[in-house]
Amino acid sequence: MSLQVKITKKLANFSLDVDFTVESREILAVLGASGSGKSMLLKCIAGVETPDTGCIVLDDRVLFDSSRKINLLPQERRVGLLFQNYALFPNMTVYQNIYHSVRKGRYSGPEQERLINGIMDTLQLTKIRNNSVMRISGGEMQRTALARILVNDAELMMLDEPLSALDEHLKFSLEMELKEIIGNFGKSVLFVTHDRDQAHRLGDRIALVNDGLIEKIAPVREIFMHPDTVEGARITGVKNIAAATVKNGIVEVPRWGLSFDLCRIAGSDGWSEKDIHYIGIRMNDVKLAKGKEDLSKGNIFTFKIADVLSNVFSYTVKLYNPDVSDPLPFYWQISKDLWEPEHRNIVELYLRDSIVMPLK
Amino acid sequence: MDLYPLYNSLRIALISTVLIFFMGIGTAYYVARMPKVIKGVLDVLLTVPLVLPPTVVGYLLLRFLGPHRLVGAFFFENFDIRLTMTWWSTIFATVVVSFPLMYRTTRGAFESFDRNVENAARTLGLSGGFIFWRIRIPCCKAGIIAGLVLAFARALGEYGATSMISGYTPGITATISTTVYNLWRTNNDDLAYKWVLLNLLISALVLVFLNLFEERRRKS
């Protein structure tokens, strides 16, 4: 049960050009900013949009192949797509939405009833089975849309920005629900999102997409530890990104006034001097210096505090290096139980070598 | 009071409404999916009868359907059928003038129909026919019914093109509107008032129905 995709499609501002595989039972998250071509990718796989060139193969079935002029109808692809707005049939009840999503001629009458009732039970839809889908909550809409895909015997489930249509306070519990449902699906799952936390929580692997191209595809941990490109760093939430120059094994970041030893920050990752143009540091990876840090694994730097933003459980501190004539802000996030600003204007921070990410 | 004109007007309006229903949703469906430029041109062509003087429509219809004209001659010579001056000739006129009302309201409804719903249905394996008749049409029901009611009302009141293509023959081609004109021409005020009142009543009923329907639609 694997999906192989290698397609190109010209869009208004850029071209979608991707080549990737989703393994059997794997959950692949496609992470990218809005308008990076993610939704178009799903529509091409589902068959409601046609790529310009390439091929799409699900298990051993060719869904699309431009060179062999194969282009299966969406009806024949057996690919479930959960739309951002769920796209339920608005003129029907919950039950009718699910009933009409069962493939015709696949089951006998009683079998079909058992299947529908079983899935409605699991997804807790039985109580609202006769409600119009226009009169149910966002969570119930999501479960109804998922139930349609589950009774449809889809070989692949795709989700387009799941939960993005919901209020913040609902997202938390519905994401738990979604995680369980797609975890039990037992076949490949492909979902697109612009929410890095969601991609991190739900995905096995992540494909970083920017302007229609996949910048990197790797297991979740690897993506967040080594995004490799500036865009990748931005999408995965790195707030500190600055231009760097590398000479004789020393990485200089002039606008932060910082320098690092190349072999200490990237020695094992095979970066060569000419590949590194930027440096990224996550603001929560930076620690407060307490005087007993291991200086063989990092360095202590002094910053001036420009501003402190108070979040619910943490501070985001805007810093700069006073010795630099044209400083770039450096952001640091610290939990409120570990630090209080108390009218300080200087702070000493410990930057471990391992948190410094070289970027192309 | 001979009620033939009422009966004739109602059957003409009903038949043309049925025809317009299929023509309107068919045309609206295809035009809504066309590329922008073609859509613009077709839209003008299909809507123009709404703003043309009915006499111009009548004139054009006679140019095509008259017994010595292109289409009319063909039917007359091959099937011995006259397309003008019969009770059903009026249907040509009412269809042409009221079609734009149905077409425009339906197209508006189709354009606001969520493409994702259709796409979701396709990925779930549902056929084009099912999607059209069981999902799209019910979802656009409100717009379609509003279009039908307007088309029906317009067909019922059509006078200009009707009088040209069917004329006024009592008991045969007479409709409410041509009857009223004829009663006025012959100074038969008593009867004219009755028809005018009846006409007002029907029009008012149609509008009340339309308003009630709009209100229900807004609430849902």
What DSSP string runs through A170-237?
Answer: HHHHHHHHHHHHHHTS-SEEEEEES-HHHHHHH-SEEEEEETTEEEEEEEHHHHHH---SHHHHHHTT
Kindly report, as residue ranges, where domains of CATH 3.40.50.300 are found in chain A.
3-234
Question: What fold, for A238-359?
Answer: OB fold (Dihydrolipoamide Acetyltransferase, E2P) (2.40.50)
Cβ atoms B66, B60 nearer than 8 A: no
User: What pLDDT does residue A267 have?
Assistant: 57
For residues A219 and A205, the answer to whether their CB atoms sit within 8 Å is yes
CB A89 to CB B125 under 8 A?
no
β-pairing, A15-22 vs A3-10, is antiparallel
Q: Which residue of A has its CA nearest to B140?
A: A91
Terminus-to-terminus CA distance in chain A, angstroms? 35
Mutate to test the interface with B, among A49, A75, A142 (most CBs of B within 10 A): A75
**Interatomic CA distance for residues A266 and B198, integer angstroms:** 91
Is the pLDDT reported for residue B175 higher than 70? yes
- For the stretch B70-92, what's the b/e string if a residue is b when 16 or more beta carbons lie within 10 angstroms of its beta carbon? eebeeebeeeeeebbebbebbbb
Residue A105 makes CB contacts below 8 A (sequence gap 6+) with none
User: Is the CB of residue A89 less than 8 Å away from at least one CB of chain B?
Assistant: yes
Report how many Cβ contacts below 8 Å link chain A to chain B. 66
What whole-number distance in Å separates Cα of residue A123 and Cα of residue A106?
Answer: 22
Search chain A and give the residue with CA nearest B125. Answer: A75
Q: In B, which residues are within 8 Å of A42 by CB distance?
A: none
Contact B124 A100 (CB under 8 A): yes
| pLDDT 10s digits, B82-139 | 888 889 999 999 999 999 999 999 998 998 899 999 999 999 999 999 999 999 999 9
How many angstroms separate the CA atoms of A279 and A360, rounded?
9
Q: How far is the C-alpha of B146 from the C-alpha of A20, rounded, in Å?
A: 50
pLDDT of residue A313: 94
Helices (H), B53-88: 54-65, 70-79
How confident is the model at residue A143, as a pLDDT?
Answer: 92
Domain residue extents for chain B:
4-219
| Short-list B78, B127, B89, B83, CA closest to B12 | B89
The Cα–Cα gap between B196 and B206 comes to 15
- CB-CB: which of B116, B121, B127 is closest to A85? B116
Q: Which residues of chain A fall below pLDDT 50?
A: none
Alpha-carbon distance of A196 to A214, in angstroms, equals 15
Q: Enumerate residues 45 to 74 of chain B having a beta carbon within 8 A of any beta carbon in chain A.
A: none
* Contact (Cβ atoms closer than 8 angstroms) between residue A189 and residue A182: yes
How many Cβ atoms are within 10 Å of B182's Cβ, its own excluded? 18
The helix/strand/coil state of A108 is coil
What's the pLDDT band for B33 if we cut at 50, 70, 90? Answer: confident
Per-residue pLDDT reduced to its tens digit, A151-168: 998 999 999 998 887 778
Structure-block tokens of residue B200: 């007002």
Distance between CA atoms of residues A310 and B81, nearest Å: 87
- CB atoms under 10 Å from CB of B162, counted, come to 28
SS3 B213: helix
Type of residue numbered A256: W
Tokens representing A154 are 């889809």
Check residue A154 and give its pLDDT: 92
Residue range(s) occupied by CATH 2.40.50.100 in chain A: 238-359
In this complex, is the C-beta atom of B122 within 8 Å of any C-beta atom belonging to chain A? yes
Cα–Cα distance, A332 to A314 (Å, whole number): 10
Q: How far apart are CA A130 and CA B2, in angstroms?
A: 52
Residue A285 DSSP label? T
Q: Are B178 and B168 in contact (CB under 8 A)?
A: yes
DSSP H or E run through B93 = helix B89-111
Please report the pLDDT score of residue B219 as a whole number.
Answer: 66
Assign B20 to helix, strand or coil: helix
Look up the ipTM and state it.
0.84
- The tokens describing A167, both together, are 């209020």
- The type of residue at A28 is L
Residue A74 sits at the chain B interface (C-beta within 8 Å): yes
Q: To which CATH superfamily is domain A3-234 assigned?
A: P-loop containing nucleotide triphosphate hydrolases (3.40.50.300)
The CATH code of the domain at B4-219 is: 1.10.3720.10
Q: Report the C-alpha gap between A153 and A205 in whole angstroms.
A: 24
Smallest CA–CA separation between A86 and chain B, in Å? Answer: 8
d(CA A50, CA A45): 8
What the block records as the tokens of B65 is: 């359907």
CB-CB neighbors (< 8 A) of B127 in chain A: 75
From CA A195, how far away is CA A65, in angstroms rounded?
A: 32
What does R_g of chain B's alpha carbons equal in angstroms? Answer: 20
Chain B neighbors of A103, CB-CB under 8 A: 125
Q: In this structure, what token pair is assigned to residue A140?
A: 């119930």
Mean pLDDT, residues B161-176 taken together: 89
B46-57 pLDDT, tens digit each: 999 989 999 999
Q: Give the model's pLDDT for residue A268.
A: 56
Q: Which residues lie below 8 Å from residue B91, measured CB to CB, with a gap of 6+?
A: B12, B15, B16, B19
Task: Using an 8 Å CB-CB cutoff, list chain A residues near B114.
Answer: 85, 87, 90
Mean pLDDT over the full length of chain B: 90
DSSP H or E segment with residue B147: helix B141-157
